[in-house]
Amino acid sequence: MASNFSSILLVAVITLLLFIWINTFFNKYLFIVILGFIVRLFLIFIQEQTHFFGDADIGDYLPYFKRFSQAVSTDPLSYIEPHVPFYCILYPGWIFNTFGESGLWIIRTFNAALGVAAIAPLVWINQIIFGKNLSELQAAIVIFWPTWLRYNIEVGRSAPSVLVVLVGISGLLAIISYPKARNNLFVQVYTCLGIFFSCYLRIHYIAYFIPILSLAFLTQVGKLKISPYIRPILYFISIILTLLITFSMVGIYQQLSQGNHSGMIFESSESALGYLEMRDNEEGNSGYLEGVYPRTPVDWIWYLPIHCFYFMFSPMPWNVHTAFAAGSSLQALILFSLCFQALKKGWKLFKRNEGIKLLLLSLFFVALAFGSVTKNAGGAERWRLPSTLMLITTTTSILDYSKQLVQARKSPAIPYI
């Protein structure tokens, strides 16, 4: 009885803190955020009663929670390692240690709160790039995006890892775009924490930050008064370093996930191809492009674009085998349509807005890196969640800008934005 009371009290505190935070800083989205949180709580109740979404997340994380509970009595700090162990020591491990398996729904509630809190860095990103807040409709699309809803009610680390990626990116964009932010201690700490937590929760998410820094460097190079012969060399070096570091992060992820912390990441092109051909990449009903691999260095020219596209927009309609996959495919189609329309109607804005360039080109680099080693639509859907949320807000803002621009041309009384 006392345990149940403690559980309910803890969830009440989470809800109160979320309410106070949103009401203080983002009153505009208060109703949408609270409604989104309530919907998540309802889905958690359904999941706990019926296991409608399956128990794969419990099977994946429960062994780690149990090992953490055993480590608490000895040395919990020794449990700090990248990926799931680090996630455990943040809050899930402590909750499980206190409430056992009956506390899994509290972990889900924590993740639900973090899921709706992700609207904050998305608003800041939009302010940096477009100079205005998200509309209520944009916030609602993000908060109620079906895939995001689904992963917010799991005991897994999708919600916190996506949130900290968005935090890190919003901080980096602020530092790059505003000179005052570079000397602001809060922004510096905010950004560093976002990047640190991103790398420890999912080390391969560092691929989101390297391209932004590299592209920002390229932008500064373009503004320097240097020899026209030196500038292309600096561009070339920056692009090569970006690609090498980004793809190396994939190798580091491979190393850590296999428990091998020594030796080269990929000792040869053969070892790299061997990793790509790991059987795990094609297992399950959501596998795609099975048996399609680069055989020579030239093959990377067609391999990377195809896998980049599949990574961002799978499962394709011809790969759908379940109702969940059909829903994911429909969402991918909507996202593709948004991207296509935004590029078509906002190409001029893309060329002259440095913030949009930094963000979208960085997301493209991420899709190349992650797509090169991914052949599973389920894994791709989870890994691309930060990109999905940023693309939703960015593309809809571009389309809104284009719409207002057309109206301004038709009606001179309406000022250009």
For 125-145, write each residue's pLDDT tens digit: 999 999 999 999 999 999 999
Q: Which of 56-65, 244-253, 338-347, 377-386 has the lowest mean pLDDT?
A: 244-253
**Separation in Å, CA 349 to CA 156, 211, 327, 408:** 38, 21, 32, 15
H, E, C per residue of the chain: CHHHHHHHHHHHHHHHHHHHHHHHHCHHHHHHHHHHHHHHHHHHHHHHHHCCCCCHHHHHHHHHHHHHHHHHCCCHHHHCCCCHHHHHHHCHHHHHHHHHHHHHHHHHHHHHHHHHHCHHHHHHHHHHHHCCCCCHHHHHHHHCCHHHHHHHCCCCCHHHHHHHHHHHHHHHHHHHHCHHHHCCHHHHHHHHHHHHHHHHHCHHHHHHCHHHHHHHHHHHHHHCCCCCCHHHHHHHHHHHHHHHHHHHHHHHHHHHHCCCCCCCCCCCHHHHHHHHCCHHHHCCCCECCCCCCCCCHHHHHHHHHHHHHHHHHCCCHHHCCCHHHHHHHHHHHHHHHHHHHHHHHCHHHHHHCHHHHHHHHHHHHHHHHHHCCCCEHHHHHHHCHHHHHHHHHHHHHHHHHHHHHHHHHHCCCCCCC
**Separation in Å, CA 88 to CA 47, 96, 121:** 21, 9, 24
Return the pLDDT at 20: 64
* Highest mean pLDDT out of 128-132, 347-351, 370-374: 128-132
Return the pLDDT at 274: 52
Q: What is the CA radius of gyration of the chain?
A: 22
pLDDT category at 387 given cuts 50, 70, 90 is: very high
Return the pLDDT at 324: 86
Between CA 337 and CA 147 the distance in angstroms is 17
Return the pLDDT at 15: 66
Tokens of 105: 């729904």
pLDDT at 361 over 60: yes
Between CA 112 and CA 39 the distance in angstroms is 9
For 34-88, write each residue's pLDDT tens digit: 899 999 999 999 998 898 888 889 989 999 999 888 888 777 676 777 888 899 9
Non-local (6+) Cβ contacts of 348 within 8 A are none
Quote the mean pLDDT of the chain: 82
3-state secondary structure at position 223: helix
Return the pLDDT at 62: 92
Mean local confidence (pLDDT), 233-254? 66
How far does CA 407 lie from the centroid of its chain?
A: 34
Return the pLDDT at 199: 87
Return the pLDDT at 279: 41
- pLDDT higher at 249 or 189: 189
For 103-124, write each residue's pLDDT tens digit: 899 999 999 999 999 999 999 9
- Backbone conformation region of residue 374, classed left if phi is above 0, alpha if psi is from -120 to 50, else beta: beta
Return the pLDDT at 266: 43
Q: For helices 385-410 and 158-177, what crossing angle results, to 10°?
A: 50
What is the pTM for the complete model shown?
0.86
